[in-house]
Structure 1
Amino acid sequence: MRYRRKYIVLFTLVVMNLIDQPAPEVKIAQGTLSGKMSADGTVFEYIGIPYASTNSSTRFQAPGPPPSWEGVYNAVDEIYVCAQNSFIGVIGSEDCLKINVYVPAMPKTKPLAVMVYIHGGAFYLGSGSKTLHGPGFLTKKDVILVTFNYRLGALGFICLNIKEAPGNAGLKDQIAALKWVQKNIAAFGGDPDNVTVFGESAGATSVSLLLASEASTGLFKRAIVQSGSSLSNWVINRNPVWIASLLVKSLGHTTEDPNEIYKILSKLSYKELTVITTKKPIGLFFDTQILHLPCIETNIPGTEPVLTDLPYNIFKSRPNDIEVLYGTTSKEGYFLVALETEESVKERNGRYLFASDLTFSSEFEAMNEAEKVKEFYFGKDEISLQKHLNITDLYTQLYFEIPVIFETEFLVNRIKSGVYNYIFNYSGARNFMKTRSGYSDHEGACHADDIFYLFDGYLMPFRINNDDSRIIEYMTSMWTNFAKYGNPTPDSSDLPVKWTPSTKDNLNFLYIDSELKMGSMPNPESYRLWKEIYKNYYKTDLA
């Protein structure tokens, strides 16, 4: 009988672990929510809450208000993804504006700091799901984590500068999510006056754009920008109507009339719109092939723009005065080189090694500057995959490291709030992107490697070794300290370093490796090269 009782107890425990345990109900403006408890019992999870609405009738525009409901909304479903292409075809839907709230399952004596994460994916891939962005590492540090989806690709970033398609719908989704947090997070035990927005890659670029936007005023207190900057040459679509004309041309239509383009695209199903692929003609400039990017909007009655000027001009004259933490990985470019072929690399010979965010008085002047860049990175050799590590450095510095430093310089010269900088150089078992790119035996950290030390997503379900565990502890402590106090290493911290903010007289960098140490700017020679070029040739208007 004793053995039978023991069996019944064990069986009950197994069954309980297979069934979602409910989290406390929460009443928000839309109605009452129920969630579930995480498998380990440490987190209350509220997943797939609609924070705004969109459908084919409001396509390319700012989202509408979120729906309300009667009864209890069961917020446990992770199936929601915004429409995007994948190896199995189009996944997701147009009605995808869902938000996830992760709350530490412990008694609270005061409202918790809130961290709102914007996912990356080059503005055409990704989601806020736990595949990559599991909450456990961060919520252990007594903060509330919020993740969400926003519209991607053509659905999020068609920009025709007309009322029906003013541009930046995906960024307007992000603003709607932040407004939802302000309105509702207190019901979950969060502090709406202590919200930190953070993101990586396109998510970091989005954070940088929100820093430059008046439309986001008052929606967050601090920002963390990981491997992205709105000053990067791949961020702003400077000719969005032309890009949209390439889309409709691939469908058999020849027009650059915004209204005609809108009529064509608005009649397509979201799946038809998502699968349209075309290529920009390869010119002399080293422009990205990403089609759908944020744009500079015109002032249209009845719409609220995100940006009406280039971020460069805004940061140079009137940046928001809030605390910001910026960083890049040491070898961002590994993942881009992995996508190259010998043919695609050789195409760069004889062309400029910078994008059309620069302007020159003549082709001779441009080619002369391009030759300086080529010689700096490749010497007298041709550009080829034999020089793949040199290409890695070019991509790392041109696309990520240098723009972040430029943005930092604008801020430290114009604001009073603290600005912190880091370089993530650690290489461990969780450096997923470096391994996937084929560079696991090389030094440094690839683009996006750092996020696997902040999130315990499904993609990395493996046992965590001691070295990686220490880096996770360092990273999550510093990120959540910054979110709580505006200082990643406050006096109460027991971390083995004091992170010194940058100033207008000296940029200070925390190097995150097996050990933490403060240092000076990385790669000062490349900084001087690009600083001179951008000082002399940056194109400050869209004409």
Structure 2
Amino acid sequence: MRHRKKLVLLSMFLMNLIDQPAPEVVLEQGKLVGKISTDGSFFEYIGIPYATSDITTRFKAPGPAPSWKGVYKAIGDKGMTVCIQPGLFNVIIGIEDCLMANVYVPAMTSRPLPVMVFIHGGAFLFGSGGKFLYGPEFFMRKEVILVTFNYRLGALGFTCLGIKEAPGNAGLKDQRAALRWVKKNIAAFGGDPDNITLFGESAGATSTAILNISNSTEGLFNRVIIQSGTSISNWAINRNPVWRASLVAKALGFDAEDPYDLYKIFSEANVNDLISVPPGKPVELFFDTELLHLPCIESIIPGEEPIITDLPFNILSKKVKDIPMIMGSNTKEGMFLTTFETDESLSPRNSRYLVASDLRFKTEEEGMEVSQTIREFYFDNEPLSTKNIKNVTKFYTHLFFEIPAMQETELLLNQNESPVFNYLFNYSGGRNFVKQRTIFSNEEGACHGDDLFYMFNSLLLPFRITEKDWNVMEQFTNMWTNFAKYGDPTPKNSHVPIRWEPSSKTEGLKFLYIDEESKMGPMPDKKAYDLWKGIYQKYRKLNVSLPSIEINNEKK
């Protein structure tokens, strides 16, 4: 009997070392099989191709999803299934044909299940939808299906030349293709194609916000969650895409400004060389992002299906999708940016604008007057330096994240009837992974990206979860999955010990402050909000030159 028990225990141990097959799924593409999670609680289907990307579709919308014969093994054994991108020590990693999705399905629940589709962040330059950062375990306890996926990054995903060969937003068109794939196929996994929530963080949040206002995504999702990014942030749109492409060409050794010349250079370039060009551009009068590759406003080109053809602010000023939304940010987003600042990097800003080129001034003097007002508000008229780095952090938090989220909320409330739930994530615990790697590790509040580690079971944090962290993680995932199920993050009889009230056109913006003890409250800094609202109402740029004609004006 003792030997028999040992044999059973040994068998169970060996079974955990061997992938156990999950139920077979039949798609139009063919049959596929996944594997059962180590603890047996959910099924995982890893690396399913949802579209194709290769040299023939470079800089354009992806090709159709491939088909196969036999049974496709969606078990994550397809090699380096991340989209090509810079890795550590400037080593290029990933592959060009990288458009793959991961589907995670709870094992013991009734069907059909609500579906949550997540878009990863990474400055439109890095990242993937893989389990290393976005482990599904916390969501699998909440009876939802989770889908993550890759999309093209950097020059391959966001070169925008305004011509048919490179119309722009290929990475966003990958995301749209993924959503169409989910809508078409998720029922085969036990999901409800009429109950899909799209959510994303940072660049993934900006992507989500842009997809939300795109006519081309109508009917593909029913709710959205936008975390630390918006469509109207000054870093959301590349307003000089052809000029920025010319900077990439110059780094490759070419002097070109014509869109067709640039396309020829990029299409013939070694893909590793193209991806290796680091972000960065000359310091200008405006305070624009240094990132070279961002979403753009597309020209209308026959035969091409654009994502957006106007500035997001203009689109939001009209009727857009009327669906429930969660939108928010973290209380100390700017820590992520200011931890790398030095006196040398901050000094040039003292003689230039403290606003980006999403504003327009009649004269340079007018722009400097506005910047002086901002300087007095945040820095008591002192120069930006490491001596007032906490003020710089607050300035970055407001400029890049907090204020745009408020402004986008107001635009949505003015046009729509559906609720918008606003939040600020403030908790500081053992899973604030990003903040712990900044110079502000002992400060209160949450840094950019900290919220992810209370939602996903990242392999970056393999150690035991404390009780406080677990309670915050439970609160986070309960609210996010309640929203996916019911359109309300805190419905009656939920396990969340607070009622999250939506913002209102008549009653104003209301915020849930997510913390160890969460609470409802007003906007965090009314004076800062009023300052920026006045500036943007007077100076916001309401038009942008289209890529194919802007090279005559924007390089000056």
Match of residue 229 from structure 1: 230
2:54 partner letter: N
Go from structure 1 to structure 2 and tell me whether the alpha carbon gap of 1:479 and 1:278 turns closer, same or farther (over 3 Å shift): closer
Aligned-partner Cα distance in 1 for 2:541–2:260: 28
Aligned-partner Cα distance in 2 for 1:166–1:364: 36
Give the secondary structure class of the aligned counterpart of 1:115.
strand
RMSD: 1.0
Go from structure 1 to structure 2 and tell me whether the alpha carbon gap of 1:18 and 1:448 turns closer, same or farther (over 3 Å shift): same
Give the secondary structure class of the aligned counterpart of 1:536.
helix
Match of residue 520 from structure 2: 518
**Residue in structure 2 matching 1:529, options 528, 531, 544:** 531
2:69 partner letter: E
1:5 matched to 2:11:
no
Give the secondary structure class of the aligned counterpart of 1:99.
strand
Match of residue 445 from structure 2: 444
Aligned-partner Cα distance in 1 for 2:496–2:122: 32
Aligned-partner Cα distance in 1 for 2:133–2:486: 26
Match of residue 73 from structure 1: 72
1:319 partner letter: V
1:378 matched to 2:379:
yes
Go from structure 1 to structure 2 and tell me whether the alpha carbon gap of 1:529 and 1:198 turns closer, same or farther (over 3 Å shift): same
1:427 partner letter: S
| Match runs of 1:29-44 below 5 Å | 29-44=28-43
Match of residue 370 from structure 2: 369
Aligned-partner Cα distance in 2 for 1:135–1:460: 14
Match of residue 550 from structure 2: none
1:253 matched to 2:245:
no
1:518 partner letter: M
1:101 matched to 2:100:
no
Cα deviation code 1:123-143 (max 9, x no counterpart): 000000011111111111000
2:501 partner letter: T
Give the secondary structure class of the aligned counterpart of 2:24.
strand
Q: CA deviation at 1:284?
A: 1.2
Go from structure 1 to structure 2 and tell me whether the alpha carbon gap of 1:532 and 1:107 turns closer, same or farther (over 3 Å shift): closer
Give the secondary structure class of the aligned counterpart of 1:431.
coil
Aligned-partner Cα distance in 1 for 2:429–2:168: 40
Give the secondary structure class of the aligned counterpart of 2:56.
helix
1:448 partner letter: G
Aligned-partner Cα distance in 1 for 2:109–2:377: 57
| Match runs of 1:146-161 below 5 Å | 146-161=147-162
Aligned-partner Cα distance in 1 for 2:20–2:83: 28
Aligned-partner Cα distance in 1 for 2:302–2:75: 39
Q: CA deviation at 1:165?
A: 0.3
1:445 partner letter: A
Q: Higher mean Cα deviation, 178-187 or 248-257?
A: 248-257
Give the secondary structure class of the aligned counterpart of 2:344.
helix
Cα deviation code 1:183-226 (max 9, x no counterpart): 10000000000000000000000000011110111100000000
Identity rate of aligned residues, in percent?
A: 58
Q: CA deviation at 1:4?
A: 2.2
1:363 partner letter: E
Aligned-partner Cα distance in 2 for 1:57–1:210: 25
Q: CA deviation at 1:509?
A: 0.4
Aligned-partner Cα distance in 2 for 1:251–1:427: 43
2:528 partner letter: S
Cα deviation code 1:140-197 (max 9, x no counterpart): 1000000000000000000001000000000000000000000100000000000000
1:36 partner letter: K
Q: CA deviation at 1:278?
A: 5.9
Match of residue 315 from structure 2: 314
1:286 matched to 2:287:
yes
Tell me the TM-score normalised to structure 1 length. 0.98
Give the secondary structure class of the aligned counterpart of 1:44.
strand
1:181 matched to 2:145:
no
**Residue in structure 2 matching 1:540, options 527, 530, 542:** 542
Contact 1:246 1:278 in 2 (8 A): no
Aligned-partner Cα distance in 2 for 1:469–1:303: 47
Gaps in structure 1 of 5+ consecutive residues:
none
Cα deviation code 1:302-344 (max 9, x no counterpart): 1000010000001112222111100100000001011212210
Aligned-partner Cα distance in 2 for 1:281–1:437: 26
Contact 1:324 1:420 in 2 (8 A): yes
Aligned-partner Cα distance in 2 for 1:541–1:111: 44
Contact 1:204 1:227 in 2 (8 A): yes
Gaps in structure 2 of 5+ consecutive residues:
546-556
Match of residue 58 from structure 2: 59
Contact 1:144 1:190 in 2 (8 A): yes
Q: CA deviation at 1:279?
A: 3.0
Q: Higher mean Cα deviation, 12-21 or 95-104?
A: 12-21
Match of residue 94 from structure 2: 92
Aligned-partner Cα distance in 2 for 1:252–1:426: 47
Go from structure 1 to structure 2 and tell me whether the alpha carbon gap of 1:23 and 1:278 turns closer, same or farther (over 3 Å shift): closer
